[in-house]
């Protein structure tokens, strides 16, 4: 077989082999961890450091402003910050800007509280610890002490307790969300008298301590659309609430001006931003390992490397086989 025919075969390779190669490198990282390095950036570090500075006397909002189409990028951002907040015992309010976004909120909290998740938090539904609230106990350490005194123990693999109404509240969706944000600057309870499970928010200790957005310390809006700007417009500019963005990769460059002007304290851009946050959680012992975003970056990196290799091989075949000269001759040059 001549050298030219080898180059010809390389240039005319059946595209199905290329598709197969991409398919293989996209699946393998889910079973064989590559662990390609992810270097953190200032935009993500600023969010992590801010959340890490908060404690049980503070509170944050995580707003689910994305649909299933951008779930792969936005969901790991929300999950990472929720897990960080739970570790520091920071109460987390969760909202959704549209009905379908509420399903994303439910998926996120189910994942964090799922015993099948490595490093999960053991859920305690609002109704199950009512007798402790009836005793007037609202301090988190005292709640845990009273709960465990009743004979409750953390299951193996759990990183801690998650008391509904004290550690988190699933406020969910309410219509005309921009006005809901505006209304919450005066009262959260008036906008959400009940959570998505029908629990009265007015009886939740975390709402006793944080009655409005003025008493909340940060909001992370995980967005696949322009909804994140509503938080800047109706919360940041009105009452000075610190806002962090978690946006898709294609949206990230649009929002850098908000960081430069100081209107946004930080931003997670795409899967890479979520992976950076996961790396910091693992490095600081907050989670036992990185999560889906970091694995997704392995998939992306492997696919990109393979594509680059195909491009290099194609160019080598094109020039080594002399096809560039034939093209010039064919063009009469």
Q: What is the pLDDT of residues 182-222, one digit of tens each?
A: 999 999 999 999 999 999 999 999 999 999 999 999 999 99
Which of 71, 74, 77 has its CA nearest to residue 48?
Answer: 77
**CATH number for position 102:** 3.40.50
Integer Cα distance of 148 and 292 in angstroms: 32
Which H, E and C letters describe 117-154, residue by residue?
CCCCCEEECHHHHHHHHHCCCCCHHHHHHHHHHCCCCC
Reply yes or no on whether the pLDDT at 133 is more than 90: yes
State the residue range of the domain holding 14.
1-32+300-333
The answer to whether residues 329 and 268 belong to one domain is no
The answer to whether residues 308 and 278 belong to one domain is no
pLDDT level of residue 296 (50, 70, 90 thresholds):
confident
Q: Which residue has the higher pLDDT, 108 or 24?
A: 108
Q: Is residue 326 in some structural domain?
A: yes
The answer to whether residues 176 and 63 belong to one domain is yes
The answer to whether residues 207 and 88 belong to one domain is yes
Number of domains within the chain: 2
The answer to whether 319 and 103 have CB atoms below 8 angstroms apart is no
Measured CA to CA in angstroms, residue 90 lies from 140, 180, 206, 234, 263 at distances of: 10, 23, 10, 23, 23
Number of H helices, E strands in the chain: 17, 8
Q: Is residue 295 in some structural domain?
A: no
Reply yes or no on whether the pLDDT at 56 is more than 90: yes
The answer to whether residues 214 and 267 belong to one domain is yes
Which of 177, 204, 29, 24 has its CA nearest to residue 100?
Answer: 177
The answer to whether residues 206 and 309 belong to one domain is no
pLDDT averaged over every residue in the chain: 91
User: What pLDDT is recorded for position 322?
Assistant: 63
Reply yes or no on whether the pLDDT at 330 is more than 60: no
The answer to whether residues 10 and 121 belong to one domain is no
Write out the H or E segment, with its range, that includes residue 266. strand 266-269
* Weakest-pLDDT range from 17-26, 67-76, 148-157, 322-331: 322-331
Integer Cα distance of 82 and 278 in angstroms: 12
pTM value surpassing 0.85: yes
Q: Is residue 189 in some structural domain?
A: yes
Q: Is residue 218 in some structural domain?
A: yes
% of the chain surpassing 90 pLDDT: 74
Q: What are 177's two structure tokens?
A: 């969300």
The answer to whether residues 55 and 92 belong to one domain is yes
The answer to whether residues 202 and 317 belong to one domain is no
Residue 139 makes CB contacts below 8 A (sequence gap 6+) with: none
CA-only gyration radius of the chain, Å: 25
The answer to whether 191 and 174 have CB atoms below 8 angstroms apart is yes
User: What pLDDT is recorded for position 5?
Assistant: 64
| pLDDT tens digits, one per residue of 306-329 | 888 888 888 887 787 666 555 554
The answer to whether residues 159 and 210 belong to one domain is yes
The answer to whether residues 120 and 227 belong to one domain is yes
The answer to whether residues 223 and 248 belong to one domain is yes
Q: Is residue 86 in some structural domain?
A: yes
Q: What average pLDDT score do residues 231-238 get? A: 96
User: What pLDDT is recorded for position 331?
Assistant: 54
């Amino acid at each position: 077989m001549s050298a030219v025919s080898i180059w010809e075969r390389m240039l005319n390779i059946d595209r199905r082999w290329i598709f197969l190669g991409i398919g293989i490198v996209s699946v393998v990282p889910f079973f064989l961890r590559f662990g390609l390095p992810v270097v953190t950036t200032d935009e993500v570090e600023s969010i992590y450091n801010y959340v890490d500075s908060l404690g049980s006397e503070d509170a944050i909002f995580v707003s689910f402003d994305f649909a299933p189409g951008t779930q792969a990028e936005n969901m790991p951002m929300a999950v990472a910050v929720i897990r960080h907040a739970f570790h520091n015992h920071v109460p987390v309010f969760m909202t959704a800007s549209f009905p379908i976004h509420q399903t994303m909120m439910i998926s996120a909290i189910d994942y964090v509280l799922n015993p099948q998740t490595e490093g999960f938090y053991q859920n305690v539904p609002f109704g199950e610890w009512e007798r402790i609230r009836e005793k007037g106990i609202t301090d988190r350490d005292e709640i845990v002490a009273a709960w465990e005194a009743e004979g409750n123990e953390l299951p193996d693999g759990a990183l801690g307790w998650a008391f509904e109404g004290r550690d988190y509240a699933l406020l969910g969706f309410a219509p005309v969300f921009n006005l809901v944000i505006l209304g919450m600057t005066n009262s959260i309870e008036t906008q959400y008298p009940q959570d998505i499970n029908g629990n009265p928010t007015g009886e939740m200790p975390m709402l006793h301590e944080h009655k409005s957005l003025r008493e909340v310390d940060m909001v992370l809006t995980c967005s696949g659309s322009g909804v994140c700007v509503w938080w800047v417009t109706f919360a940041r500019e009105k009452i000075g609430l610190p806002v962090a963005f978690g946006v898709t990769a294609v949206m990230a460059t649009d929002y850098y001006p908000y960081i430069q002007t100081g209107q946004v304290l930080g931003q997670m851009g795409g899967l890479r931003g979520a992976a950076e946050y996961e790396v910091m959680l693992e490095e600081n012992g907050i989670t036992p390992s990185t999560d889906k975003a970091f694995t997704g970056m392995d998939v992306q990196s492997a696919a990109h490397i393979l594509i680059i290799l195909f491009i290099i091989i194609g160019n080598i075949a094109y020039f080594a086989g002399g096809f560039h000269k034939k093209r010039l001759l064919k063009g009469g040059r």
